[in-house]
């Protein structure tokens, strides 16, 4: 009976020892991602990510998905109203998304997020 109790307590202790640092790690990076927006985000972007923003500046609010794909390239995932580009800007931590309006299929918003670094949004 004592062995089972010891093993159970040891398992709980190990889980707690891993969960606390993991929670702190993900909490820190989540905070840092969403706290760095706007001009602060632009300041920490790499040249490749700034190139993405230059391409996005060519997008007009009246463009449909096909026109956007000609500028940004084919997306990694193309859902009904969201197109996603994983690794946009040259990092595996980043993702670009274009949101389209449901009623007419035109561009509504662009988001570039890099986990642990920034969250940048352009509304059209």
Q: Output the domain CATH number for residue 96.
A: 3.30.1450.10
Give pLDDT, residue 27: 81
Tell me, rounded to whole angstroms, the distance of Cα 41 from its chain centroid: 13
- Model confidence at 124, pLDDT cuts 50, 70, 90, reads very high
What number is the average pLDDT over the span 69-90?
93
Residue 26 domain-assigned? Answer: no
Within-domain flag for 74:
yes
Whole-structure pTM value: 0.77
In a domain, residue 27? The reply is: no
pLDDT band at 2 (very low <50, low <70, confident <90, very high): low
**pLDDT digits 0-9 by tens, 14-50:** 888 888 887 877 787 778 888 899 999 999 999 999 9
Residue with tokens 């800007």: 89
Burial of 121 (0-12, 13-18, 19+ CB in 10 A): middle
Mean predicted confidence (pLDDT) in 50-78 = 95
Structural domains counted in the chain: 1
Residue 3 lies inside a defined structural domain of this protein: no
Asked whether residue 105 is domain-assigned, the answer is yes
Q: Which three-class secondary structure string do you get for 49-109?
A: HHHHHHHHCCCCCCCCHHHHHHHHCCCCEECCCEEEEECCCCCCCEEEEEEECCCCCCEEE
Please report the pLDDT score of residue 19 as a whole number. Answer: 82
pLDDT band at 12 (very low <50, low <70, confident <90, very high): confident
State the residue range of the domain holding 55: 36-123
At 118 the pLDDT is 95
- For residue 118, is it within any domain? yes
| pLDDT band at residue 4 using 50, 70 and 90 as cut-offs | low
φ/ψ of residue 117, rounded to 5: -125, -55
Q: Which residues are CB-contacts of 56 (< 8 A; sequence separation ≥ 6)?
A: 71, 72, 110, 112, 122
């Amino acid at each position: 009976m004592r062995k089972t109790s010891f093993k159970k307590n040891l398992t709980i202790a190990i889980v707690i020892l891993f969960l606390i640092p993991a929670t702190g790690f993900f909490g820190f990076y989540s905070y840092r991602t969403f706290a760095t927006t706007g001009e602060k985000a632009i300041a920490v972007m790499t040249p490749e990510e700034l190139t993405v923003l230059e391409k996005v500046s060519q997008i007009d609010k009246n463009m449909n998905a096909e026109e956007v794909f000609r500028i940004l390239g084919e997306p990694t995932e193309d859902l009904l109203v969201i197109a996603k580009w994983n690794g946009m800007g040259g990092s595996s931590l980043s993702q670009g998304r274009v949101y389209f309006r449901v009623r007419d299929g035109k561009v509504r918003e662009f988001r570039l997020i890099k986990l642990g670094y920034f969250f940048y949004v352009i509304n059209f």
